[in-house]
Structure 1
């Protein structure tokens, strides 16, 4: 296991969200189905919001916290997006939501693990807040998926 700073973890999370956003945007360009396009647009906006949140955290978190070392070995973004191997423009709304929830679950698990292993209260609070943010966004995604049947 290697070590990374809090900044490295935030960078990794931001890159993951940006990669997922780009994937959804690419799929939007290829799909012909209106409901799928609407869900892809919503998911791209979801990932964009979270990527911007990571950027804001960089700017508003103390250098002391950002430079803290934690036991974390960032995996490849492709591994985190493992469910996207089957991504194609003809995915159903349910399949898209399943992929989005896998990404959220991956990050929630990561942030909870980081919070449980944090040595300072400030970094513990940061990772707990990130886990809560991901959970809130996950709930929004699920609600949007449930309402997709009304579109």
Structure 2
């Protein structure tokens, strides 16, 4: 996806969460460990909810913020998502699945952090700040939940 505006960036983030949810669901049945299958179900549901949440940001954001150009800030696609999800999640253990999902979230948060300092208009600063806050909150919640699941 060619990211030119903050609107494109938000749409790309939404798609990333959706892609991650789809991969987790797709690989779930190939996973041998029942505990990891439950984790993948939980993570897929969580990512699908994040996709819907980001879509709401897209709908409610001021048009001026969405149309602000961002391409000067991004030299390349900021996050590399694997295209083929047949193998990665199906062959990972519990901790590795968590690390991979957390890595996606860490990359999104790092990107938003970088953009926070470069956003020039208040509407864009507020939008990116809200998205960053939501991603941070959800990452913390996800970490707590997966730790609890691991304890069981």
The two structures share one fold, judged by TM-score above 0.5:
yes
1:85 and 1:98 map into 2 onto residues whose CA distance is 18
| TM-score (structure 1 length as normaliser) | 0.87
2:120 and 2:108 map into 1 onto residues whose CA distance is 20
Q: Give CA-to-partner distance per residue, 1:103-148, whole Å, 9 cap, x none.
A: 0000001111111100111111111111111111111121122112
Partner of 2:111: 110
Deviation at 1:89, TM superposition (A): 1.6
The two structures, once aligned, show a CA RMSD in angstroms of 2.3
1:125 and 1:81 map into 2 onto residues whose CA distance is 30
| TM-score (structure 2 length as normaliser) | 0.86
1:115 and 1:13 map into 2 onto residues whose CA distance is 16
Alignment of 1:46-57 (within 5 A): 46-57=46-57
Partner of 2:9: 9
Residue correspondences, number: 148
Give SS of 2:4's match. strand
Bigger drift between 66-75 and 51-60 goes to 66-75
Partner of 1:149: 150
Match of 1:75 among 71, 74, 77: 77
Bigger drift between 96-105 and 62-71 goes to 62-71
Q: Give CA-to-partner distance per residue, 1:38-97, whole Å, 9 cap, x none.
A: 1101111121111111211121112111111123355176x1459x79614231111111
Compare the two structures and name the one with the higher helix fraction.
Answer: 1
